[in-house]
Structure formats: structure tokens, C-alpha cells
Structure 1
Amino acid sequence: MRVTLGIAVSLIVAVAGIFAFSHRDTLSLGTRQIPINNMNLTSLVETDAGLVTAGELGHILISKDQGQSWTPASLSQQRYALLTRLHFKDGRTGLAIGHEGWILRTNDGGLNWQEVAFNPGGEPLLGIHLLPSGAWVAFGAFGQALISRDDGNSWSDLPPPEGTDWHLNNILASIDKRTWLIVGESGTLFRSTDGGENWETVPEFYNGSLYGGLNLGGDNWLVYGMRGNIFRSEDNGLTWTSVGGELPVSIFTHQSLDNGKLLLAGQGGVLLLSDDDGKSFSFLHKSGRMTLTDITRLESGKLLMSSDTGLLPPLSLDQLKQPSGA
């Protein structure tokens, strides 16, 4: 009996070995799909190469057909850190910034990117711009500040304005590039009237975080942030008046439209519309729990929006005015 059992076990092992090493056709896994409609995308711009978006796990994607299809850009080094913002000085040269002090540079509109800075364990970078002097500056969490004087190819530490250690969320330029604002945590707002060479603190007018804004032309500015708060200045950023703040959601981005209209967007898919140069805003749209992060206008005139759950289908302003589920 033991001999018979041993022979049976030996046969089973032999057959298993033959099966394990025998040739078998491997099933195709199919074409890899980029989850463009199910990923955190933080920035969206149009360049000479097409539409470029970036965000989750260091992904940078590009579309040459107005957002109908997307392909990965080529990165010299993939760090899998969240990219927070894209900024281009023209149709070809731009920078991407992100967590851990990560900075990437492109000179072909976003098709190929070279890593120019990375600080493992470093703080997130949140805002970047090119000053009139030709220097790039980047700001981020806990007052982090960096400067590049060789068109973004190398970076060094920069003392933050007045030694602040608040989060610096964005840097804004006037249309004529003479006045600059830095907006940040706990109502932080710095102003420069000499092209970003020197900064002064604007007296606090709000104790919540400010995330963005824009120059409306001349001395008129708008900034926005937590809890739907929106402020307007008519004296080049010296004093500010509230023109919003009734929504329990934060506002993160904007897009200027035709005829002086202005669109703001943020948490909960909320969209606010102004048709009087930012003096007042009306509720336009709300959609689920997503957070809208950026907006760009397509050649068709429709709006393409990025969010923490991917790209939304392009929509016209009239389509956005239609009610949507909360």
C-alpha cells in the first residue's frame, strides 16, 4: 500500500512539473488605459503642443486633439509625487512643481520634461511665476521659497517675504507685470510694486487661507479662498472689500470669459459667475463632492475643467447653468 501511494505521489509531482514548464499562450492584457476621468488632476494649460494636465503620482498628460485623447508625457525622472501646478512663460517653455520640492522643465510645450530640482522629504511647492527680471520664483508650504536665475534650469533657496513661515499658496501678477501679490494661509497677503524685487505685508483683512486671484485690470484685483470668501481691491491691493463668503466651500481656481464675465470654481463642483467685473457673484452650478482645480477654454469655446476625480466633459456656459445634483 505504501509503495502504491508513493508511486502515485511521484506521478502527480511529475505531471505537475511537466505542466508547470510546458508552453502556454499568454492572454493579451489589452491596451493600457490612462484613468483620465478618475484621477486627481491639479492643473490644466494649453501650449503649442496641445493641452497639458498634471497631478496625481507625478503624471503629466498631453492631448493633441482638444482633450479627446491623452498620452503620457516623457519625464526624465518619475518621483510619483503629486504635481500641484503648471506654468508656461510661452507656448513652449514651462515648469511643473509639486511635493518634495519637485520641479520639472520643458522646452517643447510639455511633450518632454527634465527634472531640475527634487528634495526628498521636502515641503510641497504650490505657486510659481516668472518675474519681469527673468528670474523664476516658486513658493510653498511653511514659507518655502526658491529662485532660478537661469530660466528654471537650477534652483536655490530664497528668503521668504518678511521671514514668514505660513503656507504660500499662489503668486499673482498684474496685467502690466508691475504689481505682484502672494496669497497664503491665515489671510497672508504680500504685495510688490517693483516687479517682485521687494515685498510688503498687506494688513490682515481675513483670517482664513487665500488660494488664488487675478488682476482685473488697472488697480482692480480679486482674491479668493476658504469658505467661499472673495475679496476685491480697487486701490492696487492696499485695502480689500468682501464680495462673497456665503458658501461653506473653498474656491481654488478661475477663468475669465467673454464680455467681462468671470467664473470661479472649487469644492463640491461649485461654480460662481460674475458679469460685473467681480463686484458680485451669483451661484451657477454644483456637482457632487468633487473639487474643481483648474479651467481652460477650448477652441470650440467650451470649458474643460480638471478636478480631484479627473477631467470633466467639455461644457458650454449655458450647459453649466443647468441644474445638477448635489
Structure 2
Amino acid sequence: MITPEITAFVLNQGTRVLVSTDKGKSWKESLVSDHLPFLRMLKLGFTSDKDGYLIITGDKTMSWEAHFVFKTNDGGQSWYNAGSVDDTQALVTDGRFITDQLGFISFGEYRLEGQPPVPNLFRTTDGGTNWERVEVPIPEEYRGYFTVAEIPTFHGTEGTLLVNQGQQGDYLGGKVLAKFTSQDQGKTWSFSGLVDPDGVLR
């Protein structure tokens, strides 16, 4: 990740993070963990000059994998295991922290027998210690089409969430997204329409 304040890289070699606060003139290297399985995905970010996160997935077998959330509060000099989403081993599709305490992880689709798949999105408000599933109210006419939540963006407490159609989606060409808005930092969401990047709805 590159911002005006921080440049950081994560190395999949003993899982180390390199951080520079002077635009790459000097670097500090820190070990996150040397006891992790073979890694598939690494999501690194900072929410302030001191607070950062690293979401790691690995040990993938078919549609199962382990995931870990590591945090730093000293600019990347040291990292600690903040936890993970309990009882969930689905494949992570995306993850990000909005602030040091507020974060989201998307696990793609959630399926129940006899029902169309729905987004499998989780939210934490305590830095990653506890997570709860977010209900994304897909309208009845779109259920089964919009199934994978992307990570929301925020302006203050107001949030915007886009839900895509997954890798196999072909509704209106597969690129149309469902848009949701929130007024409570992503605890609840309301459907606000479709996003049409390719103009197929014209």
C-alpha cells in the first residue's frame, strides 16, 4: 500500500512487513508470524499513521481455508493476532478495516439448502476480536443474482456497499452491481438501486 504518509509491503517469506514513512528512503522490517500455513491472500492497510491491519488467508483445500487478522498500533513495528471470524472457513473474497476498530471481511456467497445464495459479509467494531454477519437485504426480484459483497466505503457514518454477481454471474451481462447505503457505520443496509458500469440498462 502507498499513501503520502506510509509505504508498506507484505512479504510472503515468514510473513514480514516492510514499512517506510519517508517515501522509501529508509525501511523498517518486522515479523508478523513465522507459524502460518501456505498463504493465498494478503490484505495490508493502515487506517492511521500508527494503526494497521493484515488479513491473511491460507491452507486452502477446495472451498475451505483458514484466515487470520493481525493488527499493529505502532506503525508496523510489531503485530499481534487480533482473531478471526468464528466458525467460518469459507474462502475470503475481500477484507479491509475502515478505522482501527471498524472492519469488514467478505466470504463470498452464503448458501442454505433450497434457497438462493446471499452475500456472506461480516463486521467488527472492536478491532477484530468479535465479528457478526451483516444482513444484506437483497430485494426478492434480485435474489440469487447479487451474491458477493464488496467492502463498503464510508464518509463519516454514511456507507456505500456494492454487491456483485460473483465469478459465474451473467445477469444483464454480469457486470451490473446492486448498491446499498447505511447510516449506522454498516450495521444495517438499505437497497438503493443498481449500478450499471457498462450502460446495459440504457
Q: Max radius of gyration: which structure?
A: 1
Is this contact kept in 1: 2:17–2:76, CA < 8 A?
no
* Identical aligned residues as a percent: 16
Residue 73 of structure 1 corresponds to none
Measure how far apart 1:144 and its partner are: 5.8
Count the aligned residue pairs. Answer: 160
Is this contact kept in 2: 1:137–1:145, CA < 8 A?
no
Q: 1:260 to 1:246 in 2, by over 3 A?
A: closer
Is this contact kept in 1: 2:84–2:129, CA < 8 A?
no
Equivalent positions of 1:141-290 (< 5 A) are 145=16, 147=18, 149=20, 151-152=23-24, 159-164=31-36, 165-175=38-48, 177-185=49-57, 186-205=66-85, 206-208=88-90, 209=92, 211-216=94-99, 220-227=101-108, 228-244=119-135, 249-257=147-155, 260-268=157-165, 269-287=177-195
Measure how far apart 1:138 and its partner are: 1.4
Deviations 1:16-48 (A, max 9, x none): xxxxxxxxxxxxxxxxxxxxxxxxxxxxxxxxx
Measure how far apart 1:232 and its partner are: 2.5
Measure how far apart 1:262 and its partner are: 0.4
Gaps of 5+ in 2: 58-65, 109-118, 139-145, 166-176
Q: 1:230 to 1:147 in 2, by over 3 A?
A: same
Rounded to whole Å, the distance in 2 between the matches of 1:230 and 1:87 is 26
Q: 1:204 to 1:265 in 2, by over 3 A?
A: same
Rounded to whole Å, the distance in 2 between the matches of 1:168 and 1:157 is 20
Measure how far apart 1:197 and its partner are: 1.9
Rounded to whole Å, the distance in 2 between the matches of 1:239 and 1:210 is 19
When normalised by structure 2's length, the TM-score is 0.58
Rounded to whole Å, the distance in 2 between the matches of 1:87 and 1:266 is 26
Rounded to whole Å, the distance in 2 between the matches of 1:229 and 1:143 is 30
Q: 1:173 to 1:274 in 2, by over 3 A?
A: same
Say which structure is richer in helix. 1
Measure how far apart 1:223 and its partner are: 0.9
Amino acid at match of 2:24: G
Deviations 1:190-220 (A, max 9, x none): 122333222222333132315232335xx64
Rounded to whole Å, the distance in 2 between the matches of 1:138 and 1:273 is 32
Root mean square deviation, CA, Å: 3.8
Is this contact kept in 1: 2:106–2:151, CA < 8 A?
no
Is this contact kept in 1: 2:43–2:55, CA < 8 A?
yes
Match of 1:238, SS state, is coil
Gaps of 5+ in 1: 1-85, 91-129, 131-135, 289-310, 314-323
Q: 1:194 to 1:229 in 2, by over 3 A?
A: farther
Q: 1:243 to 1:138 in 2, by over 3 A?
A: same
Is this contact kept in 2: 1:270–1:285, CA < 8 A?
yes
Rounded to whole Å, the distance in 1 between the matches of 2:12 and 2:152 is 22
Q: Is residue 89 of structure 1 aligned with residue 7 of structure 2? A: no
Q: Is residue 139 of structure 1 aligned with residue 10 of structure 2? A: yes
Amino acid at match of 1:256: F
Rounded to whole Å, the distance in 2 between the matches of 1:189 and 1:147 is 17
Measure how far apart 1:260 and its partner are: 2.2
Is this contact kept in 1: 2:51–2:74, CA < 8 A?
yes
Q: 1:261 to 1:151 in 2, by over 3 A?
A: same
Measure how far apart 1:160 and its partner are: 4.5
Q: 1:232 to 1:252 in 2, by over 3 A?
A: closer
Is this contact kept in 1: 2:30–2:78, CA < 8 A?
no
Amino acid at match of 1:255: T
Measure how far apart 1:172 and its partner are: 3.3
